[in-house]
Amino acid sequence: MLRMKRLLIGIMAAVLATGAMLIGAAGPASAQDCHYEGPVWVCDVVVTNPGDPGTSNPGTGAGPADFTPGPSKCVDNYTKPAPTEIPCNVGNAWFDNERQCYWSLDDPQGPTTTHDPSVGAWYTCTFTDARCPPAQGCFSVPVWRNTPPPGINRYTPAQAAGALAKTFVLSPIEIGMAPELKVHTDDPPGTAPYRRTWVGIPVWLWVNNPAPTSWGPQSKTATLGGVTVTANASVQSLYWNSGDGQNVTCGAGTPFNAAAYANQAAVDSPTCGIRYQHTTKGGTFTVTATTSWVVEWTGGGQAGQIQMPTATSTTDVRVGELQSVNVTTTGDTYN
C-alpha cells in the first residue's frame, strides 16, 4: 500500500453546506478516505497498485508514471441481497474494488497552482448506484494523483508533454576555456595535461562543440495517452562559477583563437569571461558550468513550458601569481 499525500480540496460554502448533510447519508468515500475539516475536504488517497514509475533520463524528471492495468474482475459489495459482479470499465472509467467506485480523468481539469500538471492530474472516483442511490444525492470529490489510477490510460495534454519531455537526452556542455588543457614547457616529464593561468590574466569561457543534446535545440512529436504533442527543448541559461566567488551568466560564448591572438596583449572575451584576482592554497580552482533547460510544448489545444533539471560540468584551473623584479644595468637586482 502506498499512502499518497493528503490533498485539500476547496469547495464553495454553499456546496459544503449541502455536502455536510449528504455525508451523513452515504459520504464521498469511506471514513478513512475523506473527512471534513472546514472549510475544505481532506482526502487521503490509498493506491493499492502504484505501478512501475518507469525509467527517467538522467538530467530530466518531468512526466507521469507509467500506466497500470485495471482489475479483471469487479464486484459491487453494496448490492442486495448479495454482492454482484459488474463491468470493470464503463467508457474511460475503471472500477476500484477497494474504494467501490469508478475512476475517471477529470475533463476539464481543476486548478494546478500547487501541483505540477506535467506529472499528475485531477481524477474523480464516482460511486455505484448501489452505494450511493441518486435519491441520496451522493457526490464524489476530485483528487490530485501523480500516478494514474489502474486502468486509466489517458493523459491530459500537460501530462503527455511531461511524458515526452522524459525522452529528451540533456547532457552537460563540453567546457571551452582559455587557458587550454595541456602540458607546459616547464612541467617535469610525465605531467598530465592541466589548465594554468595567472592572477589578472583574462580567462575566456565558451561552449565547446555545441550539440543538440548539450545546447539544443531538440524537437520531438509523439502521441502519448491519446494526446499528440510537440515539444522543443533548449538551454534557457548558462551559469558559470569560477570557484573563487565569481559568477557570470552567458550565452554560448566566443571560442579563443590562439593563432589570431598570438604575440598580442591579453584581452578579455567579448562575450563571456573572468579574471582571477587572487590565488588560493594549492593554487587550484574548480570552474563549474551549469545549463538550465526548458521544454516548450503544444498539443491538445493547449501549450506550456516545463522547467527541466540542470546539467553540470566542471574543470580545474591552476592559478598562479607572477612575481616581477627590477634589474639594474649591471645585472644586479633590487626591490
Cell of 84: 454482484
Percent of the chain past pLDDT 70, that is, above it, reads 75
**Separation between Cα atoms, residue 70 and residue 51, nearest integer Å:** 11
Q: What is the DSSP string of 83-123?
A: -EEE-SEETTEEEETTTTEEEEE-SS----TTS-TTT-EEE
* pLDDT in the model for residue 135: 56
**Separation between Cα atoms, residue 259 and residue 215, nearest integer Å:** 26
One-letter amino acid at 141 equals V
Confidence band of 172 (pLDDT split at 50, 70, 90) = very high
Q: How far from 73 is each of 22, 96, 100, CA to CA, in Å?
A: 30, 10, 13
Residue 22 has pLDDT above 80, yes or no: no
- pLDDT, the chain, mean: 80
Residue 6 has pLDDT above 50, yes or no: no
Cell of 203: 580567462
Question: pLDDT tens digits, residue range 268-290?
Answer: 999 999 999 999 888 999 999 99
Q: How far from 327 is each of 130, 198, 321, 324, CA to CA, in Å?
A: 103, 22, 19, 10
Q: How far from 326 is each of 10, 139, 323, 334, 335, CA to CA, in Å?
A: 79, 91, 10, 6, 6
**Separation between Cα atoms, residue 291 and residue 59, nearest integer Å:** 11
* pLDDT in the model for residue 197: 94
**Separation between Cα atoms, residue 36 and residue 16, nearest integer Å:** 9
Confidence band of 18 (pLDDT split at 50, 70, 90) = very low
